[in-house]
Each structure stands twice: as structure tokens, then as C-alpha cells.
Copies of this chain bind each other. A is one copy, B any other.
Amino acid sequence: MLNNIFNPKSVALIGASNKPKTVGSGIALNLLKGKREIFFVNPNTPRIFNKKTYKSVLDIKEKIDLAIIAVPASIVNDIAKECVQKKVKGVIVISAGFSEIGNIEREEKLKEILKDIPLIGPNSLGIINPKAKLNASFAPFAPKKGNIALLSQSGALIDAILDLSLNENYGFSKIVSLGNEGGLDLGDYLKYLDDNRETKVIGMYLEGIKNGRKFFEIVKNIKKPIIVLKSGKTDLGKKAALTHTGSLAGNNRIYSSVFKQLGLIEVDSIEELLDTLKILSWLDRCKNGVGIITNGGGFGVLASDYLYNENIKLPKLNRETLNLLNISLMEKVNKNNPMDVIGDALANRYEKGIEAMLLQKDIHCLYIIQGMQIMTESEKTAKIITKLYEKYKKPIICSFIGGTSFKKAIQILEKKKIPNIIEIKRAVKTIKNLTYEK
């Protein structure tokens, strides 16, 4: 059902426009970047971006899979009726001016008109399917392809996340701006994404959940990791949520305990959402048991504090590992977990430490911290890490902590899907979520 919306053969945009920096032109330009048939509907403008326009969707002779409605709210329902008559297979209503501003009646009417056709919105930024080159949104950015699905009750948040992601190496499978969920709701999208091969991990920004029971029933059967950023947790936030999307943000403790019961990973900021999505996009979850290697003792102390607070285990190095290290590494290396290879470590000292730790059975993943010091060989170390990652297949997370000095090294790591997170506290949070078991 949703496939016609995410992979349409033909799209009609009702409310297309030539005028720069408007919703109607934003969507039009995004649509034109794809390769499918696009039809622009606008009774007042004969040509838009050098394409002929139609006065009504009913004037188009070809079949329409997806209709996008971006007209003033007052005429949306009339347009929706024409879409039903045209037998489109799915509708996105971009227009705002429905239940989010208290106009429940208008939204109920829309739902009634589109009761047999899947509806995204109203009050939605649109949807994006990078692999199919479908950008049916007015987002000012085109995301990279990848395996992260993103569902959001805030369109602005999608824009910001896409913007941030262009500096990163991960990408997206599907993006949905949920809008008011007048037709399709959170549960419907989650069900679709669970079956969607291109999606490995699902991220959500929520202020409230409309159909709680359905959500619960669907999510409890989903195997893919779901990361949720829920706002409106405090009295102040709830009030703000009410004026934003009209969501009743509900009791925070109940939400959090339901999320926990369902095995969802709850995060507390946009940054943490993206860190966690990145790590679960690239790595598979593993058991609790982390080895740490660093060239800065202070980094190890900080990491130890954070890991302790997150109940992450640091297995002691066993006799076999120590024997290995005693043969290969000099005396002054601090042979513990965290292991401090000391500030003057060249890449080969990291190599010995990393391999010994990866061989220890109860170390299920590795956390490697490196600061740029006078002798640091960052690119060589990065290459060694990718080699050992491919050899031992245990998840590795890195914190190469620096500005531009580690740029190349981080590219080497992330090209092989070894995530680098620049701040130790944030990295430990993602390790917590990586070792999390449903």
C-alpha cells in the first residue's frame, strides 16, 4: 500500500509555483530532481519551470500514483475530492490549517473524503525516498542514501537533521514528516519500515502518540532498533507542545516505561538521536563488555566515569591477553582496561593493544580514543583499525578527538563504517545503546 507513495511512477503537485522560496516551488524543484513523470497543477500559471501546467488534476490524462496537495487550507478538501475522482493511489497534504490550529472539523472532512486512499498529513513537510530519487517535500536539502528511516512530528526538525547530516557519512532510506497523522499514523509507517529492506534502523521525533494501542501492538513485533526522541516531557515542554502540534504530550513516566517495555531506545537530544542512529546504522548490537584503548590517560579516566554511570562492563584483561601484551608491548604501557598506550604511542602500539583486546572473549566491542599528540600517527592508526575490524568483526567505536587534524583519519574509519564520535561522553552513550538488548 505505502509502496505507491514511496515509489510512485507518476506524481501530481497541486499548488505548484514558480515563485522562489515558496512551498509550491520548493516541492516542484525537489520533484524535478527525480526521473518519474511529474505533473504540475495550477489554474493561474500556464508554465512552471518550463513545464506545462494543468488547471485541475482531472485534466491530466495519465494515471497518477501520488498526489501532493499544497494549496490554501480552505480549498484542500475540494482538491482532495478531485484526487478521489482521479483515482490517485496516495495523497500527501502539505497544507497546514487543520487540527493543529483547532480546525478539527476540516480535518475530519478530509479524512472522510480520503477514507479509501492512504493520506500523509495534513500539515506535513512531505516525504523523501533517496534511493528512488523521490523528494516529495519542501525540505531545502537532499539527503544522502542510507539505511536510516526518520519519522518526525516536526518538519523543522527534519530540515535541521538533513542539514546536519550533509556533514556526516550516514544516509537515509525513508523520511516522513508525520504532520497531523490524519490518515496514516505512526503505527502504519513503522509496520511498513519493518518490512522495508533498505531500512536498518528507525529514528523518531515525537511530541505525542495519537493511537497508543495500535502503536503498542505494532511496535512490540518490530525487530529493528527504534530510537525515539520524545519531547514535551516537563510541564513547560507539554505546554509548548500543545501550542505547537496540539499534541497532548502525556505523562512522561508512562511514555518512558512503555518505551522501555517495548525495547525502544530513548534519547534526550537531537545530537544523541543522530549519534545513536549513526552507530546503529553501521554496527550490529552486541553484548555488554567493552575494551578501551587510549593515548591519553585523562581520556581513559573520563571514559571510565561515564561507562560506570551507564552500567557498561569493562572486563579485566585476562592472563592470555596480558601474556600477549607483555610479549609485544613495552613496560610503560598501562596494561589495564582502559589501556593507556601513552602519549608517545605510534600506530603499531595501538595495533598490538587492539588485537590483544579483540582476542579476549568477554570483550564484545572496542572503544578507541585518540588525541593528536606530537608523535600520533592518525591515518596509520585508522588504517590498522579498519584492518582489524574486518578481521575480527567486533564492533569498534572511535573518538579521535580533534578539529581538522583528524579529518582524513576519520574519513578512513567512517568509509569502513567505523563511527567516530568526537566527545567521549556522547560516544559512551552510543556504546550504551549499542550494547542494549531488547
Contact = CB atoms under 8 A, between A and B. Distances in A.
Interface of A: 21-23, 26, 101, 138-141, 152-157, 159-160, 163-168, 205, 207, 231-237, 239-241, 243-245, 249, 268-272, 295-305, 307-309, 314, 332, 334, 336, 338, 340, 343, 371-376, 401-406, 422-426
Contacts of A154: 296-299
A101 B334 CA distance: 11
Nearest to A428: B269
Contact of A373 (B159, B164, B271, B308): B159
B308 A235 contact: yes
A427 B243 CA distance: 23
Given A231-B302, A243-B334, 13 more contacts: A154-B298, A154-B299, A156-B296, A166-B404, A235-B308, A236-B304, A236-B308, A237-B301, A241-B301, A243-B297, A243-B336, A269-B302, A271-B423
Contacts of A138: 374
A332 to B, nearest CB: 8
Residue picked from A21, A159, A307, A332, most chain B C-beta under 10 Å: A159
A153 B163 CA distance: 37
Q: Which 8 A-B pairs have the closest CB atoms?
A: A156-B296, A154-B298, A244-B297, A237-B305, A163-B402, A234-B308, A269-B425, A167-B403
Kindly report how many copies of this chain are found in the complex they form together.
2
A268 B426 CA distance: 11
A405 B340 contact: no
Contact of A403 (B22, B163, B241): B163
30 contacts: A22-B374, A140-B373, A154-B297, A154-B298, A156-B296, A156-B298, A156-B371, A157-B371, A160-B402, A163-B372, A163-B401, A164-B401, A164-B402, A205-B298, A231-B301, A233-B305, A234-B304, A236-B305, A236-B308, A236-B314, A237-B302, A237-B305, A237-B308, A239-B304, A240-B300, A244-B300, A249-B301, A269-B302, A269-B424, A270-B401
